[in-house]
Amino acid sequence: MRITVNETVHELDVEPDMPLLWALRDVLDLTGTKYGCGVAYCGACTVLLDGQPVKSCSLPVAAAADRAITTIEGVAQGGTLHGVQQAWIEHQVPQCGYCQPGQIMAAIGLLREKGDPSDADIDAAITNVCRCGTYTRIRTAIHAAAKA
């Protein structure tokens, strides 16, 4: 099957029900997307599918065929960080950092939908779990990225 990841087309010889997460990590060696829970709860595996955040651990790779997939590796362009990535750094969001690729992808998806989200919008859209509890800094960084 054919999938497009970070604007590059890949031909994969995998089972159609393989989770997209494992196609990205194990087949394409794009390891920025993380495995967390495996049941689409924690959001560590969040990628963008046609610009919308999805949890790739429970999405069959066949469901992503011929659609645009963006992983954390495809967010920075030409050596320039995405505004959300820059805000993450400026507001020192990560502690352990494990969940952050998924958090960033969810934030980018939110900002595409709502350019200036309220705290309630952020709380409703960013359902990813951060065991370190950096939610306040995540919210602050999203507001900063929206204003940038």
Where are the chain's structural domains? 2-74, 83-147
Q: Give the confidence band of 51 by pLDDT, cuts at 50, 70, 90.
A: very high
Average pLDDT over residues 108-131: 97
Helix ranges (DSSP H) in 56-113:
83-90, 100-113
Place of tokens 């495996």: 38
The pLDDT value recorded for residue 54 is 98
Query: CATH number of 2-74: 3.50.30.30, 3.40.50.300, 3.10.20.30, 3.30.930.10?
Result: 3.10.20.30
The pLDDT value recorded for residue 118 is 97
User: Residues for the chain: how many in total?
Assistant: 148
At the second CATH level, the architecture of 83-147 is: Orthogonal Bundle (1.10)
Q: What percent of the chain has pLDDT over 70?
A: 100
The beta-strand segments (E) located in the chain are 2-5, 8-11, 46-49, 52-55, 68-70
The beta-strand segments (E) located in 6-71 are 8-11, 46-49, 52-55, 68-70
Average pLDDT over residues 63-71: 97
